[in-house]
Structure 1
Amino acid sequence: MTVPNHEQNHHQGIVLNGNTFSSHRFPAEPLGPFEVKIALQSASLNARDQMIRKGQYGEMPADLVPLSDGAGEVIAVGEQVTKWSVGDRVMPTFFQDWLEGSFQPSALSSAISSADQPGVLREQAKFHQDTLVHVPDHMSFQEAATLPCAGVTAWHALFEQHRALRSEDTVLIQGTGGVAIFALQLAKAFGARVVLISSSDEKLEKAKEMGADITINYKTTPDWDVELRELTDGHGADVVLDLGGKETLERSIRAVAAHGLITQVGVLTGWAHAPENISQLVLNNSSLSGVLVGSRAYFENLCAFVSKHQIKPLIDKSFSMSQIDEAYAYMDQAQHMGKVTIDIT
């Protein structure tokens, strides 16, 4: 009889050295009294994972286990674990040390797939019981694996800011990647008006089908901020999710409404210096806020919302763990819409 892999004294996974992936055999580790062992079923890719592989995210250790976002089933619990049982479906939170309350810079080193925390591209992993969140009942492991970074980031940008999103707001979303599509789904479920920009007419058409009220092709309409003002009778966007960074921030400032908010979510075009029109934020009583994923409490709030509204992530394409190179190459082409996932088992 074949022994299930989680009962063996080792498990398989992937490690990253430089920009090279290789398979790796991990020895079994004893569980601490408050730790939970998970048989990981699925994982997903984020822009951060690409940056790490390209050396754009600081120095990483040898044999780094990639990917921060995953979901799986509890297969063992430590002797003092009270929150979880074998068979529970769970997801680890991105920042292991940011559970609730205000963010503290010390939590940065607790991000999964970093110098201090291995990632989830492996068959098994163990986590402290306090760092796990229930998989929403209506989601598969594959769908749940898209939530910890992209889903929580979109939720944080829209609902956990000093300026709370209102149902009458207009929200501007840049792009059609994981965070952008989650933001579209969340904002529409809340009742807000959504403007989405992309360079692909095909993706814009799909965004309309998903509920986007206004779409703008920023290649054919490079002055998209002007177009946005015209389409909103001069009002602009109450909330802007800026995912571009260096090449989009100035236009985001011109697009944001009075008393509006720009959430700096991504830096897909690079890190930006202070734009020349930063004074416009002052003159409009608008604000700019950085967003870096979120806490376990934010994650739980997101899960409650998507469960209430039965929201399911948009998954563009899935790969096996042995196809990790192909998965990264596919995402690097920036042709996907929504999320790219990895099947671990």
Structure 2
Amino acid sequence: MRVYRPEAGKLVLREEPVPEPQRGEVLVRVRATSLNYRDLLILDGDHFTTGPGNLVPVSDAAGDVVAVGDGVTRFAVGDRVLNAFHSHWIAGRLPDTLVGYGNGQDGWLTEYRTVSEQALVALPDSLTYEQGATLPCAAVTAWTSLDGVRPGDVVLTLGTGGVSLFALQLAKARGARVVATTSSAAKAAKLTELGADTVLDYVATPEWGKAVLDATGGRGADRIVEVGGPGTFAQSLIAAGTHHAEIALVGFVGRGGAAVDFMDLFRSGATVRKIWVGSREDTEDLVRWLEARPIEPVIDSVHPFERADAAVEHFRSRANLGKVVLTHA
């Protein structure tokens, strides 16, 4: 089988034997994968790792079960599946130890992958492989970030990355009002098309936290899907107003930024909740939701498996608006 492994920061295509599923495992023929920001960090050596440096990258995939090991009961040959982002977090509280794809164990940028039957979720017929492959990290992160959001709540999303776009779509499906930020007119138009009620240009309006307050009559956001980290957190606190909003702390795409003022934090009364993507149960809940209330994942471009390098460079350029997907078929 063909499989990619990193060497000196580059992806190298290699030939390796097709693995055989052991007891409790299934063999998946990978049909599509999608890229996330963490994949670039791992390739660049800028993300924590708990395994060797030549692990197969990429955490998100969809495909077909082509063989099963002894004792497997959850899936059969021919079933369509996607993976849960965390292979050992089934439900409930976050485990003490997590082993991530690409940084702790081999990921999914391969033609075949054996995995525990417990680490997979059924892919409904309503989703293509390419759409299914966009769900495990970005969509589930958005889903858990919005837990408890009610109709009429104000949700703030930042930028046009995968998590933010899914958060916008899911928040609108929940009946929320969405304020979104971006830095380009073209991306602002896409955010509006997806349902954003207010779009703010964070370059033209660097004090966009105050602009969120103005756009909501002083109320601020009830839920902030905070993907920027140090680059945006200070403004997110201002956007939270003073009515006990929740900030879902997702990532750290923005590396620089103003220091957080303690009094802004104190006055906001905001709750900060770290998001660790989600469990298999969260993934299953999201898939059931999508079957009942379909939304179409925003896919920017699809690249063939043989051109994973081109997909990575396109994603690295940040010119994309939506998920960058590789098709393995």
TM-score, normalised with respect to structure 1: 0.91
Q: In the aligned structure 1, how far is the partner of 2:159 from the partner of 2:286? A: 21
Question: Which residue of the other structure, out of 138, 151, 164, is the alignment partner of 2:139?
Answer: 151
Amino acid at match of 1:82: T
Shift of 1:75: 0.3
Partner of 2:193: 209
Partner of 1:127: 115
Partner of 1:52: 42
Q: In the aligned structure 2, how far is the partner of 1:341 from the partner of 1:227? A: 34
Amino acid at match of 1:262: I
Partner of 1:91: 82
Shift of 1:310: 1.2
Q: Is the 8 A contact 1:319 1:343 kept in 2?
A: yes
Alpha-carbon RMSD: 1.5
Partner of 1:270: 255
Aligned length: 327
Q: Does 1:23 align with 2:7?
A: no
Q: In the aligned structure 2, how far is the partner of 1:27 from the partner of 1:39? A: 13
Partner of 1:114: 103
Q: In the aligned structure 2, how far is the partner of 1:133 from the partner of 1:141? A: 13
Partner of 1:246: 230
Question: Which residue of the other structure, out of 50, 67, 80, is the alignment partner of 2:71?
Answer: 80
Q: Is the 8 A contact 2:233 2:260 kept in 1?
A: no
Q: In the aligned structure 2, how far is the partner of 1:332 from the partner of 1:207? A: 21
Partner of 1:225: 209
Aligned identity (percent) is 35
Partner of 1:33: 23
Q: In the aligned structure 1, how far is the partner of 2:301 from the partner of 2:294? A: 21
Shift of 1:38: 0.6
Q: In the aligned structure 2, how far is the partner of 1:284 from the partner of 1:253? A: 7
Instruction: Sort the Cα spacing of 1:276 and 1:30 in 2 relative to 1 into closer, same or farther, 3 A.
Output: closer
Partner of 1:3: none
Q: Is the 8 A contact 1:13 1:26 kept in 2?
A: yes
Query: SS at the partner of 2:228?
Result: coil
Q: Does 1:339 align with 2:328?
A: no
Q: In the aligned structure 2, how far is the partner of 1:297 from the partner of 1:68? A: 17
Q: In the aligned structure 2, how far is the partner of 1:247 from the partner of 1:112? A: 27
Amino acid at match of 1:270: R
Q: In the aligned structure 1, how far is the partner of 2:312 from the partner of 2:24? A: 34
Q: Is the 8 A contact 1:66 1:113 kept in 2?
A: yes
Query: SS at the partner of 1:30?
Result: coil
Partner of 1:304: 288
Which 5+ residue runs of structure 1 have no aligned equivalent?
Answer: 1-10
Q: In the aligned structure 2, how far is the partner of 1:123 from the partner of 1:33? A: 21
Amino acid at match of 1:70: A
Instruction: Sort the Cα spacing of 1:101 and 1:272 in 2 relative to 1 into closer, same or farther, 3 A.
Output: farther
Query: SS at the partner of 2:229?
Result: coil
Deviations along 1:311-338, whole A, 9 cap, x unmatched? Answer: 1201000111221111111111111111
Query: SS at the partner of 2:150?
Result: coil
Deviations along 1:105-129, whole A, 9 cap, x unmatched? Answer: 312xx211123x1010111001111
Deviations along 1:126-149, whole A, 9 cap, x unmatched? Answer: 111111101132110011000000
Q: Is the 8 A contact 2:237 2:268 kept in 1?
A: no
Q: In the aligned structure 1, how far is the partner of 2:287 from the partner of 2:175? A: 18
Query: SS at the partner of 1:64?
Result: coil
Q: In the aligned structure 1, how far is the partner of 2:108 from the partner of 2:196? A: 33
Amino acid at match of 2:85: F
Amino acid at match of 2:52: P
Partner of 1:5: none
Q: Is the 8 A contact 1:13 1:25 kept in 2?
A: yes
Shift of 1:187: 0.3
Shift of 1:272: 7.7
Shift of 1:285: 2.4
Query: SS at the partner of 2:245?
Result: strand
Which 5+ residue runs of structure 2 have no aligned equivalent?
Answer: none
Q: In the aligned structure 2, how far is the partner of 1:192 from the partner of 1:242? A: 17
Partner of 1:7: none
Partner of 1:6: none
Deviations along 1:128-181, whole A, 9 cap, x unmatched? Answer: 11111011321100110000000111011111xxxx211111000001111111
Deviations along 1:275-299, whole A, 9 cap, x unmatched? Answer: 4324433333221111121100110
- Of residues 83-92 and 61-70 in structure 1, the stretch that sits farther from structure 2 once superposed is 61-70
Amino acid at match of 1:98: W
